[in-house]
Amino acid sequence: MALDDGEIYWFDPDPRAIIPLDAFHLPKRLARSIRRGGFEIRVDYDFRAVITACAEPGPDRDRTWINDDIIDSYVQLHNLGFAHSVEVWIDGSLQGGLYGVSLQGLFAGESMFSRATDASKIALVYLVDHLRQQNFKLLDTQFITPHLARFGAMEIPRVEYKRRLTHALRAKVQF
């Protein structure tokens, strides 16, 4: 994460937040919204646009931890096949999405954004479904937020996270 001084730091929080793939909770209202449709899901279609949107200031924050160096680094990871985006498009316009890094059976979600109601949530639902289908073992969110808690995110001690991470890195899966 880039902090106010512009430097990039590595964080290893304890406790660590994850979303257990086998215990993901889909709120009923969001399920209805998904059934209604009116959106298109694209994967890795415009990665740079997603991470750039995640870096934009929002109503509850005037800056983010995503600076230009972070954007360039993650775009390089994307070009190498390690970073991925899940995007929600409405009427040909990018309205929400998320991005993260995959390595073996780990997907480390980094950030998400929404310009339309439920757009980032829809991206998360699609991501979880995709990870389940591919037999991923771990969805890491680093930190817990009230937004993620609604989907079943939970905090676990660092030692438990490292155990799950070791298991996930042994899995032979691809995004």
- Look at the pTM and tell me if it is higher than 0.85: yes
* Residue (of 120, 128, 123, 126) closest to 152 by Cα position: 128
DSSP 8-state assignment for residue 31: H
Q: Residue 159 contacts by C-beta under 8 Å, 6 or more apart in sequence? A: none
Cβ atoms of 86 and 98 within 8 Å: the answer is yes
Of 83 and 62, more confident: 83
Kind of pairing, strands 40-43 and 83-90?
Answer: antiparallel
**Measured between alpha carbons, how far is 118 from 110 in angstroms, rounded to an integer?**
18
* Residue (of 26, 30, 29, 13) closest to 152 by Cα position: 26
**Measured between alpha carbons, how far is 83 from 75 in angstroms, rounded to an integer?**
7
Q: Is the pLDDT of residue 1 over 80?
A: no
For 36, 141, 162, the CA distances from 46, given in Å and listed in that order, are 24, 22, 32
Identify the pLDDT of residue 20: 97
Q: How confident is the model at residue 3 (pLDDT cuts 50, 70, 90)?
A: low
pLDDT digits 0-9 by tens, 22-59? 999 999 999 999 999 999 999 999 999 999 999 997 66
DSSP 8-state assignment for residue 58: B
Q: Which amino acid is at 23?
A: A
Cβ atoms of 138 and 14 within 8 Å: the answer is no
Identify the pLDDT of residue 54: 96
* Residue 102 CA from chain centroid, whole number: 10
Q: Is the pLDDT of residue 77 over 80?
A: yes
The sign of the torsion formed by the CA atoms of 147, 8, 165, 51 equals positive
* Residue 138 CA from chain centroid, whole number: 12
pLDDT digits 0-9 by tens, 113-164? 999 999 999 999 999 999 999 999 999 999 998 989 999 999 999 999 999 9
Q: Where are the alpha helices (DSSP H) in the chain?
A: 28-36, 47-55, 68-79, 119-133, 146-149, 158-170
The SS3 of residue 18 is strand
